[in-house]
């Protein structure tokens, strides 16, 4: 996730339910979705849009799993949830009272894909209105049911599908919760606001805000494996060390480059970056930057692996081909595989290293340099 925007509003995230219908081994708000816990996705989206602080209502006894799921997300404070959604929201709102925010967005963790455009529409509405909620039109015909029979038709033109986050002037919605009469069982905070006489403005929602409810929702969201390829070349020169696949080889010449010029690791880095569509090694470690002069290429691999994990992926397997007349790769193959497996955080049987020649053709055939090509398969973290 990129750097968060300056805080423009406070936020409440409701993550105190059990989420049993989702069929996950943990409550759905802590289950992985696109490589990260659902609640983390929701929190990161709000922080990126300018939320701070965030009061997150969690189940009783879930503090440890919640802290792990939200580690590193800025401005988070955990509060114990209540017996109902409405009770959880009130507790979270009161946890923000000492911050005296002007605006607050109240969001369901189960809607983790929160477009920034929806947040902007909500905030724009609050410049003149006390409350705003995102809605979508109803596209299907509706019927009023009486048991298993259709009793009457419903007018879909006057109905809307309500989503979260819902936006309010903080003092107004806190007062509305405190003045609520009867059991705290409102379906959402717009209902609480309307009961207190607060006008609620409708803004356009987004299909991406759909609520994760069933096991199928998690299956549909699972990212697919991704493949990347990398290729690199470096010159052989006198007076340089020769590093290949993170192993130093004894040889009369070494590879020239800004870093240690480990051509095989550079190809691996580009393969990983390619798989997550994150550019190439030159963008992340530019030769113009003096801090990379003489740097161990293992650092580049470790960073590429970390970027892949941030994107929700781990290395499934890597295949590397080194093209040179000398030195011979065979005697060093197992050491190279072991070092690569260590750097990639995977098993050695998921790493292959091959050596070949170009039949004395071209710059590699003339011994002027070494080339390397790598392919990397990245798999979703949920499957590792």
| Local confidence band at 48 (pLDDT 50, 70, 90 cut-offs) | very high
Residue 342 has pLDDT above 60, yes or no: yes
| Local confidence band at 311 (pLDDT 50, 70, 90 cut-offs) | confident
Do 110 and 135 lie in a common domain?
Answer: yes
Q: Is residue 1, in this structure, part of any structural domain at all?
A: no
Nearest Cα to Cα of residue 112 among 203, 25, 217: 217
Tokens for 170, please give them.
């903080």
Q: Is residue 279, in this structure, part of any structural domain at all?
A: yes
Do 56 and 171 lie in a common domain?
Answer: yes
DSSP-assigned letters across all residues of 234-251: EEEETT--EEETTEEE--
- Pairing outcome for strands 131-137 and 160-162: antiparallel
Any residues with CB less than 8 A from the CB of 4 and at least 6 apart, and which? 47, 48, 50, 52, 74
Do 163 and 286 lie in a common domain?
Answer: no
CA distance 173 to 178: 9
Residue 175 has pLDDT above 70, yes or no: yes
Question: Could you tell me the CATH number of the domain that includes residue 107?
Answer: 3.90.550.10
Tens-place pLDDT, residues 114-163: 999 999 999 999 999 999 999 999 988 888 888 888 888 888 889 999 99
- Pairing outcome for strands 76-80 and 51-58: parallel
| Local confidence band at 384 (pLDDT 50, 70, 90 cut-offs) | very low
Question: What is the predicted pLDDT for the residue at 237?
Answer: 94
Please say which residue of 171, 199, 221 terminates a domain.
Answer: 221
Residue 203 has pLDDT above 80, yes or no: yes
Please say which residue of 221, 242, 271 terminates a domain.
Answer: 221
Do 216 and 234 lie in a common domain?
Answer: no
Contact 7, 75 (CB under 8 A): yes
Contact 287, 348 (CB under 8 A): no
Do 174 and 300 lie in a common domain?
Answer: no
Question: What is the predicted pLDDT for the residue at 156?
Answer: 86
| Local confidence band at 19 (pLDDT 50, 70, 90 cut-offs) | low
3-state secondary structure of 185: coil
CA distance 353 to 139: 55
Residue 10 has pLDDT above 80, yes or no: yes
Residue 270 has pLDDT above 60, yes or no: yes
| Local confidence band at 5 (pLDDT 50, 70, 90 cut-offs) | low
Question: What is the predicted pLDDT for the residue at 22?
Answer: 47
Question: Could you tell me the CATH number of the domain that includes residue 368?
Answer: 3.30.1330.50
* Beta strands in the chain, from DSSP E residues, in sequence order: 9-14, 32-33, 36-37, 51-58, 76-80, 103-108, 131-137, 142-146, 149-154, 160-162, 166-169, 201-204, 226-237, 242-244, 247-249, 254-255, 313-323, 351-356, 369-380
Do 333 and 189 lie in a common domain?
Answer: no
Total domains, the chain: 2
Do 187 and 252 lie in a common domain?
Answer: no
Q: Is residue 258, in this structure, part of any structural domain at all?
A: yes
Do 217 and 230 lie in a common domain?
Answer: no
Contact 32, 22 (CB under 8 A): no
| Local confidence band at 215 (pLDDT 50, 70, 90 cut-offs) | confident
pTM score, whole prediction: 0.61
Do 246 and 172 lie in a common domain?
Answer: no
Q: Is residue 3, in this structure, part of any structural domain at all?
A: no
Q: Is residue 4, in this structure, part of any structural domain at all?
A: no
Enclosing domain of residue 322: 226-383
Do 288 and 342 lie in a common domain?
Answer: yes
Question: What is the predicted pLDDT for the residue at 220?
Answer: 55
Give me the mean pLDDT over the 238-254 stretch: 94
Question: What is the predicted pLDDT for the residue at 155?
Answer: 85
Please say which residue of 200, 221, 242 terminates a domain.
Answer: 221
Question: What is the predicted pLDDT for the residue at 222?
Answer: 54
Tens-place pLDDT, residues 224-239: 899 999 999 999 999 9
Do 322 and 187 lie in a common domain?
Answer: no
Do 283 and 309 lie in a common domain?
Answer: yes
């Amino acid at each position: 996730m990129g750097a968060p925007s300056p805080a423009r509003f406070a936020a409440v995230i409701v993550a105190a339910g059990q989420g049993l219908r989702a069929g996950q081994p943990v409550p759905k708000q802590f289950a992985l979705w696109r490589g990260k816990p659902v609640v983390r996705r929701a929190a990161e989206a709000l922080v990126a849009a300018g939320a701070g602080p965030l009061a997150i209502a969690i189940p009783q006894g879930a503090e440890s799993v919640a802290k792990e799921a939200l580690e590193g997300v800025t401005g988070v404070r955990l509060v114990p949830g209540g017996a109902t959604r409405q009770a959880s929201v009130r507790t979270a709102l009161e946890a923000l009272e000492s911050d005296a925010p002007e605006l607050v967005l109240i969001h369901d963790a189960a809607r983790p894909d929160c477009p920034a455009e929806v947040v902007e529409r909500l905030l724009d509405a609050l410049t003149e209105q006390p409350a705003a909620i995102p809605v979508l039109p109803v596209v299907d015909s509706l019927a009023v049911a009486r048991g298993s029979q259709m009793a009457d038709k419903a007018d879909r033109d006057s109905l809307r599908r309500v989503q979260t986050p819902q936006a309010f002037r903080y003092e107004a919605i806190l007062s509305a919760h405190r003045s609520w009469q009867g059991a705290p069982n409102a379906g959402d905070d717009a209902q609480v606001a309307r009961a207190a006489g607060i006008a609620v403005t409708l803004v356009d929602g987004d299909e991406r805000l759909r609520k994760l409810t069933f096991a199928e929702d998690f299956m549909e969201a699972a990212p697919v494996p991704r493949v990347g390829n990398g290729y690199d070349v470096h010159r052989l020169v006198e007076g340089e060390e020769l590093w290949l696949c993170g192993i130093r080889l004894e040889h009369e010449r070494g590879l020239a480059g800004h870093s240690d010029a480990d051509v095989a690791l550079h190809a691996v880095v580009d393969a990983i970056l390619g798989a997550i569509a994150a550019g190439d090694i030159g963008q992340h470690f530019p030769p113009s930057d003096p801090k990379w002069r003489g740097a161990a290429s293992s650092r580049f691999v470790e960073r590429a692996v970390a970027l892949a994990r941030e994107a929700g992926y781990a290395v499934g397997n890597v295949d590397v081909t080194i093209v040179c007349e000398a030195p011979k790769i065979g005697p060093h193959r197992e050491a190279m595989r072991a070092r690569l497996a260590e750097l990639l955080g995977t098993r050695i049987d998921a790493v292959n290293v091959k050596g070949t020649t170009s039949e004395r053709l071209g710059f590699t055939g003339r011994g002027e340099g070494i080339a390397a090509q790598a392919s990397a398969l990245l798999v979703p973290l949920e499957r590792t």
